[in-house]
Amino acid sequence: MSNYSTNILIVDDTKANLISLEAILEGENLKILSASNGNDALKILLKQKVDIVLLDVQMPGMNGFEVAELMRANNKTKDIPIIFITAINKEEEYIFKGYELGAVDYLYKPISNEILKSKVKVFVKLNEQTKIIEEKTRALEEKITQLEMVEKKLNHLIRIDELTGVFNRRAFEEIFKLEWARTIRSNGFFSALMIDIDNFKNFNDTYGHLKGDECLKDVAKIIEKTLRRITDQVARLGGEEFIVLLPETDSDGAKLIAEEIRKNVENLKIVNEGVDTSKFVTVSIGISSVAPTRDIEKKEFIDCADKGLYIAKKNGKNRSYV
Ligand code: GH3
Ligand code: MG
Ligand code: MG
Ligand code: MG
C-alpha cells in the first residue's frame, strides 16, 4: 500500500447513486468526499485537497460540464482529473465537449463496478506517482541549492587569503588576466602597485609573529580602504607583499594612489622600533603603468613593478617609485 492517500470527490444529485458509488469504491485506499450538486462540489474543491473528481453530468442547476468549466478556470482546481458519469449515450458531441474541458474519462450508466474500480485505480496510481515525483523533485531541488551554496563558499575560499581576507595569488592571476584583456580592448591604461612592508623582519623579531599577523591585517585593511573604484583590487602575493591592480588608470593616477596608501600606512603609527628609516611600520611601493597591447607580456609589466619596488627600497624605503 502506498503512503499517499488519494482524495476522491463524488458528485451526483441522486442520493442513491452517491451511496452506491461510495460502496463500490470503499476499501480502495481512497478518502471519499461527496457532494449532491455543483455548488457544493466547487466549495469542497476550493477548501480541500481533491485528487480525482467523479462527476455526474446530468444534475439540476449546474450540470457536470458547467462544474468542469468552472474548475478549469480556477488555478487550484484546473489540473484535477475528472471522470464524467453520464447516462447520455456515447454521442461524440458530448464526449468531445468533455474532452475540451480537460476531461480525462467517461463512465456510462448503468455503471459496471469493475470498470469504475479499474478506471479509478488508474488515476489513483497516476496521482501517487505524481506525488512521488513531486517529492523527489523537491528533495533534489533542495540538494542542488545546498550544493550551490557549498560551491559558492568554496569558490570564495579558494580565492581569499585566509589571514588578511584580501584576494590571494590565485585570484590575482585570474583578475589580472581578465582586466589586462579588457584593457587591451578598451585601449586604456593599466597600472599595478607592488607593495612591500619595510623592515618587517625586524617587526616580527621584536614583537613576535602574532603581532606581525595583526600588522599584516591592518596594512591589508588600509590598502582596501584607500582603493575607491570597484575595479581596483588588492591581493596578498605572500609574506608581507601585496599587489594592487588599477585598471583604466595611468601612471599619474597610480602615483597618487600609491602615495595615498603609503601615507595611510605610515599614519597607522604601528611602532617598529630599532629601525633606522622610520620608527613606524611603513611600505615601499613599485609602480608599473602601461597601455597594454597584444605584444606586451603581462610578466614584463609585473617585473617593472618589482623593479620599481627594488629602487624604492634602495632609495631609503617608505616611498613609491614609477
Ligand atoms: P625590507 O624592508 O627590505 O622589505 O625588509 P623586510 O624585513 O621587510 O624583508 P624580509 O624579506 O627580510 O623579511 C620579511 C619578513 O616577513 C620575514 C618574516 O618574518 C615575515 N613574514 C612573512 N610572512 C609572514 C606572515 O605570514 N606572518 C608574519 N607574522 N610574518 C611574516
Ligand atoms: Mg444526475
Ligand atoms: Mg619587506
Ligand atoms: Mg618582502
- Would you list the DSSP string of 73-121? TSTTTTT--EEEEE-S---HHHHHHHHHTT--EEEESSPPHHHHHHHHH
Residue pLDDT, tens place only, 265-304: 999 999 999 998 889 999 999 999 999 998 889 999 999 9
C-alpha 42/C-alpha 70 separation (Å) is 8
- Around ion ligand 2, which residues have CB less than 5 A away? 13, 56, 58-59
Q: Which amino acid is at 215?
A: C
Which residues contact residue 292 at a Cβ distance below 8 angstroms, ignoring those fewer than 6 apart?
180, 183, 184, 190, 301
C-alpha 207/C-alpha 10 separation (Å) is 85
User: Tell me, what DSSP letter sits at residue 133?
Assistant: H
**Could you give phi then psi for residue 166, rounded to 5 degrees?**
-85, 175
Which residues contact residue 63 at a Cβ distance below 8 angstroms, ignoring those fewer than 6 apart?
38, 57
* Closest to 83 measured CA to CA, from 61, 68, 70: 68
Q: CA of 308: how far to CAs of 200, 298, 322, in Å?
A: 19, 16, 6
Tell whether omega for the bond before 60 is within 30 degrees of 0, i.e. cis.
no
Residue with cell 570597484: 230
Structure ipTM over 0.90, yes or no? yes
Residue pLDDT, tens place only, 37-68: 999 999 999 999 999 999 999 999 999 989 99
Q: Establish how many alpha carbons lie within 13 A of residue 34's alpha carbon, considering only the half-sphere containing its beta carbon.
A: 16
Nearest atom of ligand 1 to the alpha carbon of 210: 29
Q: In the β-sheet with 105-108, what is the strand arrangement from edge to edge? A: 30-35, 6-11, 52-56, 82-86, 105-108
Nearest atom of ligand 1 to the alpha carbon of 238: 23
Residue pLDDT, tens place only, 123-154: 888 888 988 999 999 999 999 999 999 999 99
Q: Is 240 a catalytic residue?
A: yes
**Could you give phi then psi for residue 179, rounded to 5 degrees?**
-70, -35
pLDDT band for position 174 (50/70/90)?
very high
Residue pLDDT, tens place only, 210-259: 999 999 999 999 999 999 999 999 999 999 999 999 999 999 999 999 99
C-alpha 113/C-alpha 120 separation (Å) is 11
Residues 292/180, Cβ–Cβ less than 8 Å: yes
Residues in contact with ligand 1 by the CB-under-6-Å rule are 196-202, 204, 209, 212-213, 216, 239-240, 313, 317
Residue nearest to atom 22 of ligand 1 (CA): 239
- Around ion ligand 3, which residues have CB less than 5 A away? 196-197, 200, 240
User: What is the pLDDT of the chain when averaged over all its residues?
Assistant: 93
Ligand nearest to the CA of 10: 2
